[in-house]
Amino acid sequence: TAVRLVGGRSRCEGRVEMEEGGSWGTVCDDAWDMADGDVVCRQLGCGRAVRVHSQATFGRGSGLILRDDVSCEGHEDHLWDCPAVTEHDCNHKEDAGVVCSEHQEWQLSGGRDGCAGRVEVFFRGTWSTVCDSTWYGTEAKVLCRSLGCGEPLRQLFFHHTLPSRMLYQCESLQPSLAHCRWAYNKSAPCHQSRAAGVVCNGMGC
């Protein structure tokens, strides 16, 4: 038996799917809450739940619906250790989802559109700026591509005005900045840094 998150922007966000008897299936959103999400996030090494979702927020799954009325207390080691029923009257428009604290998502803010501006990352339930100490061409290229914004045109620099800071170091091109080396709220490498920004050549909404 295994669990995974599907349809999100990282392995720590998405529609909850379980494997049982060699087949993957979904979980119905009836009674789905933060305690249930906490168990899934911890089981995946993704921290804790910061948001839970219902009504197939991350798209509709296919195949079986394996659990309904899940009622974890939050301390269980595995989702299948929680009380639940296997008989249900659900369909896939009720698939449950979760966003875990170790999920990272990015935005560019303060620019002409979503493809230009200050780099901001949502992590552990809050938005942070990114230190420019190790922000070079590779990091900018990874970010522009992962946002669907093409390639970086030029770097921008801003002030840190958010409470937390993230640092990224990409040795090579990766699918997202979360796949690079990163450090959260480490003061030394971010000391006297500015907040990184970028203009990508694509057009954002």
Residue 108 lies in a domain: yes
Residue 205 lies in a domain: no
Average pLDDT score over residue span 14-22:
95
Environment class of 146 (CB within 10 Å of its CB; exposed 0-12, middle 13-18, buried 19+): middle
Q: Of the residues 71, 100, 129, which one is the last residue of a structural domain?
A: 100
- Total-model pTM: 0.79
Q: What pLDDT shows up at residue 187?
A: 83
Domain co-membership, 91 together with 114:
no
**pLDDT tens digits, one per residue of 44-72:** 999 999 999 999 999 999 999 999 999 99
pLDDT band at 188 (very low <50, low <70, confident <90, very high): confident
**pLDDT tens digits, one per residue of 95-133:** 999 999 999 999 999 998 999 999 999 998 889 999 999
d(CA 89, CA 120): 41
On whether the CB atoms of residues 132 and 140 are closer than 8 A, the answer is: no
Q: Of the residues 67, 100, 133, which one is the last residue of a structural domain?
A: 100
Domain total in the chain: 2
Q: Of the residues 74, 100, 126, which one is the last residue of a structural domain?
A: 100
Q: What pLDDT shows up at residue 204?
A: 67
Query: For 66, left (φ over 0), alpha (ψ -120 to 50), or beta?
Result: alpha
Residue 165 lies in a domain: yes
Range of the domain at 135: 104-200
Query: For 137, left (φ over 0), alpha (ψ -120 to 50), or beta?
Result: alpha
pLDDT band at 205 (very low <50, low <70, confident <90, very high): low
CATH number, domain with residue 139? 3.10.250.10
Domain co-membership, 119 together with 193:
yes
Domain co-membership, 150 together with 71:
no
Domain co-membership, 45 together with 16:
yes
On whether the CB atoms of residues 157 and 197 are closer than 8 A, the answer is: yes
Q: What pLDDT shows up at residue 203?
A: 82
